[in-house]
Structure formats: C-alpha cells, structure tokens
Amino acid sequence: MELKENLLLQYLDGKTIRIVYCDRLSSIIYAIDMNKIRWPFAMKKDELVANYQTEKIVILENDPYIRNVVEEELSDAEKERRNRAWDIVNFVFQQVDSEVLIFQSRYRENAIKLAETSYKINYSTVKSYLVSYWKGGKIRNGLLPAFNLCGSKGKKRIAGDKKRGRPRKSGAQEGVNVDDKIKKYFKIGLNRYYYNGRQNSLKVTYELIIKDFFTETNVDGNGNEVTVIKDPSKIPTYSQFLYWYKKFNNPKKELINRNGARNYFQNHRTIIGNSTQDAGVGPGTLWQIDSTQFDIYLVSSVDRNLIVGRPTVICIIDIFSRKIVGLNVTFESFNSYTGTMVALANAMLPKEEYCKQYGISLEKNEWDVACVPQKIFADRGELNGKQVEDAIAGLGISILNAPPYRADYKGVIEQAFAQLNIKVKPFADGIVKNGKNAKERGDEEYRLKANLSIDEFTRILIKCVLFHNNHHVLSGYVLDEMMIEQGIEKIPSKIWDYGVKNMKGQLRFLPEQTVKMHLLPTDFSASITSRGVRFKKMLYASDYSLKNNWYQSARINGSKKIKIWYDPRDLSYIYTINEDGEFHKLTLLEHLTKYQHRGIDEIKQIIKYEESLDSKTKEKELQEKMKLYDDIQTIVGKGKKKTEMEKDDSLSKAERLRGIRDNQRQEKELQRELLRKKKKDLVMDTQSIVESQDIQDQDDELSMFRAIQQLDWDDDIE
C-alpha cells in the first residue's frame, strides 16, 4: 500500500478519512475526518498499513468530495467567496515556517489570530475555511460555497394553499399552483397539439390547452354560443406552462414527432466513433459509393451553343485511407446501373488509359489503385437490384446498404463530394447557386454562362481527385499509435501505402477481363453484318473475326445478333465471347475515327447533330428540287411546242418509227459538224483577241517610252 496525500480511506463502520499530509521520512501522517468538522489528527503509518492489510480499511477510488466545475458557469458571488477564502488560507500557511507545523495547535492558533486581525473575521470562519480546504483536496475549488446544495434543486415541491414562486408583477390575480390535474392537462395538450407534424409553437399549444380545459360555452343575448374562460384567477400562466414543458420534454421524442424519425437520425442523433473503425483491417476492406448531380451546367461537345444540363458524378472512396479509388462522370440518370457499374470498373482497373483519354499522364504511384474490395457500402439506390447484386457478388464482394434517406451513414463520401464542389465552384461558370435550381427574381440566368463540355469537366475532376489523394491533409483523421511512431502524414496516399505494408488486410486483384465481364454494361442489339459488327451505327472488327470469316458468313447467311460488353465512356472498343470462349476485343473501324475515344452520350449527340444538319440540308434540297422540276417542265414545254409546230401530220406512225438508227447517225454527224464549227469560231475569236491585245501592249509601251523621254527632256531644261 502506497500512502500519499489526498488518498481517501474508509473503515468498515463507514468512517471516511483523507490523508492531508504525508512525509516519507516520518512515521506519522495527518488525516482529517470527512464526516466531522474537526482539525486533522496524527496517525501512525504502520497502523494504517496494518489495517489495510487486514481489510479493516479500504481505499476509495472515486472521490465524491472534490467538486469539478466549469469556471465560466460559476456566478460572481461564488468566485468572490472562493477567492477570499483562498487568500485567507494562503495567509494562514504563510505564518508558519513549514506545512507540518499547521497541524500543531500552538503554531496554528497564532496564525489564525493574525488572520482574524488582518481580515476582520472570527475564529470559526478561519477554521471552516481550513477544514474545507483539506476536505476538498487542497485545491482552490474546495473552498467554493455550497450554493449547489441550496434550494432543494430537483426535488418535487408539495402544493399548498399559498401560491408558490414570486408574486406577479402586474394584475390583481394572485395566480394558481400547478397541481397534478393541471400537469395532466399540460401533458395531454402537448401530445395533442405540439408533438406532431403540424409545427404548432409552444405559445399556440398553451392557448389551445386553455381553450380545451379552462373554458366553457355560454349563450349570449342573441342565442349564439360563445366560448369564455371559466375563472381567470385559476388559469396557469404561460411561464408556468414553459416550466413544466421543460421538465416533461424529451428532446428525442420532440424531434421525432415534430420533424420525423429520418430527420432526427440524420441531423440530431448521437455520433460516437468514426467511419475508420468500420474499415476493418486496412485498405480495400470497405469502400463507399455514392452519386450526386453536380452543381454545374455543361455544354455539348459537338455544338457549344447547346446546354446539355447537369452531369451525374459517381465516386468511390476507400474508408480506411479516404483515398478516392474510382470516378465516373456521366449524363446517366441517378442510381443508374450503367453509371454505377462503370464507376466500379474504373475503381478496380488501372487508371493510366482512363486518364490518358482526357489528356492526363499519370506519374508513378500517382493513382495506382486497381484492386477488388471485400465490401462496398451504398445507399438503396446505387447497388439496389438483382442485376447489380449478381454482378458484384460474382467478384466475391459483399454489399452493405444504408437505410433509405440516410446520407449520414456515408459521411466520408458525402464530404468528398463537398470538397469537389468547393474546388470547382470558384472558377467554373454555369454554377448552380446554393445547390438549388431556383432563381430569384432579377437574378442573372447562370445556365447561360455554361462553357465546359463533359470531357473538360471530367478532366477537372480527375485533377481534383489526384490532388485529394496525394496532397489533401485529412485534419480530422485519427492516426493510431503505430502511424504516429512512423510519422505517417494525414494524406490519403500515405495512409493507403502504410495500410498496404503494415495492416492485416491484403489487396485482392483479378484479371482485367474478369472485372470487365462482370461490371461493364451489356447489350444484345449488336449484330454481325457483312460490313463488320454493328453497334449504335458503328462498325467493329478484329483479326480473329476476319480469320474466322464472321463477315463472309453474314453476307451469305444473313446477319445475327450477339451479346457484347462496352464501356459507355469510350466506344473505341467493344467486347464479346468468341467461339473459343474467350473474352474478345473488337476495335472501331478506321473510317469511323470521328467516334474514337468518345463516350456513348457524346456519340449520340454527334449522330443527333448530323441528323439535324441532314434535316436542314434536305429542306434546301427539296426547295432546289422544286426549281429543278420547274426548269425541266419549262424545257419540256418549249420542246413540245417546237415539235408541234414542225410536226408533219402526213407521216404515219410506222414511217416515223422507221429508220431510227439512221436518223440517230445523221443527228450525230450534224452535232459533230456543229461542234467543229463552234471550235473554229472560238479559235478565230481567240486570235483576234490576242492581236488586239498585242496592239494595245505596243501602244502602252510607246506611251511609256514617250513619257520617259518627256521626263528626261524636262530634266535637261532644268
């Protein structure tokens, strides 16, 4: 047993003492009886230790005599009395040469007399301060006045005939005590009018309680029923109602009944712990996935005059390290199967080709996540459905779904979305204000400022992801002891690398073909034709398909449908299962390079844009065709008229049809003769033009010579 100051000891009979002075070099200690107001007394150490060993005395672990208070919550009166008592106690101790002398009466009495004279107080007051100081653990707050014990706080008062509380400041009525009957009225009224979704205020609830329980119906002189208060002197005041409301009220019940359970659990429930503890044994154990409609309007990549709306961003984050492992930017609808599967494929596959598609070259280990997680946590949107569950379960991944409308269950990824918005909004145009599409009167139409295409916006988000993973400091992340010892920085990539090297979990990798086969969207509308594999008006081929005569067979036997897999972000390639059971890649044909490295949404826009151009061109074509028909009709009319004028009616049909070949030969010779004559006339005209040009050139040269001679002549005269 180690004896030390402030140690609380209790005897079997309930007597409690506190050691107030212990000298290691002395066999005597001083203790004070906690149940009496008396001076400390001397005890032998050996006797105390012996009592402890024989279990006649026990050590109290909890100290109920030391007051733990918040300084700011103390009143001025409490602080003033405590500080004065503290000054007096210090004064008394300063009058003795050493602390141990204060326990000897002759030295103590002299010090107390000096304190009485200096502070104008009596002996009992000084004794009370000293005893409180020792009992309170020899700290300043041990001298606080016991205001907390005054007034029977928390105890129920018994109502009598006399009105409790302060008198009313105005009004002749004395008031009424709130008895059990009135309390019952308050409870009924609160349940009836306040604890519901009508959002009645406490003031309205009080008034409705008065109406229900403190009024009666009378008939006025006109025979109409009028509600009047029974006895104004017996009505509880609004302040009394508020007092009992605060005593009855359960904040959880109030929030759930007035705002709904979902609102309570999302915004007001107790939050203990953090998401990292759910991440299990390290990176790749638990991922969170979520989608959101980003607060920005984009323009078409084909025609920037077209505003195409807000993109959907699907993000996947590793809970242990807070590293963003997957991203997909699309115009797919919320919680779409296609968008979710592509985001998951992006998370589980290497990122080099994906980033290169948007003009970003990754450095070594800059975004090196390409693994399969153990569990994925989502809400009831992204991964809710048999098709999705079957696809993910095939990769050996467990799906955890949050309750509906509980975004607080995915706080990590919700915060990641918030960070992306914060980084993009200061620089981009077409931003949605306050996350709402609503526009106040007089506000500028922000959608007209949109100027980014989906490719440019995706590139911005990839840059933000790389910054987050490699440079963002996670201020709120709690490092464990090993991380602190090794000096791990609170950066997602650093935490990820530490977890891979030191945590129990191991990253799981699968072949790229396996991941794509399970996660990429499928389509059964593709067909093998004589020109290639046709999908979405595009054609694909491969060496394997050419060697195995796919297209020749299609030309002979007709086209046939096949199942294909595709990446909606880049339709440069599609995949199918070939005759050997392999996951086979088909490449876009060279003459369709305008569709290369473009997503399905962008290709749809290109096709739609081409169709709109065709539509406009066809309108012009139709107009010009009408002119053509008019010209043809005019020429035909003139020819018909000339033929009618020169027609020889004496010739029979047989005579007219006889000798068509001879007539054709004569007409051909005639046309040739006319052509030769035209050429001859053209040559003669050309010669005459050349001769006249030569004469003109000679005249021009002569005129120039004469002008030069005139200038020389003028110079000679001068």
Q: What residues have CB less than 8 Å from 148, skipping those under 6 apart? A: 67
Among 495, 463, 482, smallest CA distance to 319 is for: 495
Task: Say if 648 falls within a structural domain.
Answer: no
Identify whether the C-beta of residue 420 lies closer than 8 Å to the C-beta of residue 426. no
User: What percent of the chain is predicted at pLDDT more than 70?
Assistant: 85
The token pair that represents 465 in the structure block = 């992801």
Do 571 and 537 share a domain, yes or no? Answer: yes
Does the residue 170 lie in any domain?
Answer: no
Decide if 157 is inside a domain.
no
Lowest mean pLDDT among 111-120, 246-255, 385-394, 542-551: 385-394
What is the DSSP track for 150-200? TT-TTPPPPP-SSPPSSPPSSSS-------HHHHHHHHHHIIIIISSTT--
Residues 232 and 201 in one domain: yes
How large is the average pLDDT for residues 268-293? 68
Q: Which residue among 598, 616, 635 closes a domain?
A: 598
Residue 485: other Cβ atoms inside 10 A: 9
CB 172 within 8 A of CB 197: no
Output DSSP code: residue 408: G
Same domain, 345 and 407: yes
Dihedral class, residue 470 (left if φ above 0, else alpha if ψ from -120 to 50, else beta): alpha
pTM, 2 dp: 0.59
Same domain as 408, residue 327: yes
The Cα 274–Cα 475 span in angstroms is: 14
- The answer to the question of residue 512 being in a domain is no
Mean pLDDT of the chain: 83
Q: What is the C-alpha separation between 424 and 434, in angstroms, rounded?
A: 14
Neighbours of 65 (CB within 10 A): 16
Q: Are 124 and 242 contained in the same domain? A: no
pLDDT band at 66 (very low <50, low <70, confident <90, very high): confident
Do 370 and 319 lie in a common domain? Answer: yes
Q: Specify whether the CB–CB gap between 20 and 41 falls below 8 A.
A: no
- Which tokens sit at 525? 């509308």
368 and 493 fall within a common domain: yes
Residue keyed to tokens 């609160």: 190
Q: Are residues 259 and 293 in the same domain?
A: no
On whether both 262 and 289 belong to a single domain, the answer is no
**Tens of pLDDT along 123-146?**
999 999 999 999 988 889 889 998
Residue 718 clears pLDDT 50, i.e. is over it: no
Q: Looking at the structure, tell me whether residues 466 and 354 fall in a common domain.
A: yes
> For residue 409, is pLDDT > 80?
no
Query: What integer pLDDT is reported at residue 385 of this predicted model?
Result: 62
Angle at 565 between CA 607 and CA 348, to 5 degrees: 115
Q: Is residue 346 a contact partner of residue 519, using CB atoms and an 8 Å limit?
A: no
Kindly state whether residue 67 falls inside one of the protein's structural domains. yes
The verdict on residue 653 lying in a domain is: no
The pLDDT of residue 612: 80
Which of helix, strand or coil describes residue 400? strand
Single out the residue in 473, 502, 531 at which a domain terminates: 502
- Domain boundary (502, 534, 568) is at 502
> How many residues comprise the chain?
718
* CATH code at position 416: 3.30.420.10
**What is the count of structural domains for the chain?**
5
Q: Which domain holds residue 86?
A: 8-148
Instruction: Flag whether 302 is in a domain.
Output: yes
The single-letter code of the amino acid at 146 is: A
* 508 within some domain: no
pLDDT of 522 higher than 90: no
Clarify whether residues 497 and 376 are in a common domain. Answer: yes
Taking residue 582's Cβ as centre, other Cβ atoms within 10 Å add up to 12
463: number of CA atoms within 13 Å, CB side? 11
Q: Is the domain of 320 the same as that of 193?
A: no
Q: Count the helix, strand and coil residues of the chain and give each as a percent rounded to the nearest 5.
A: 50, 15, 35
Contact by Cβ (8 Å): 479, 627? no
Task: Express as a percent the part of the chain with pLDDT over 90.
Answer: 23
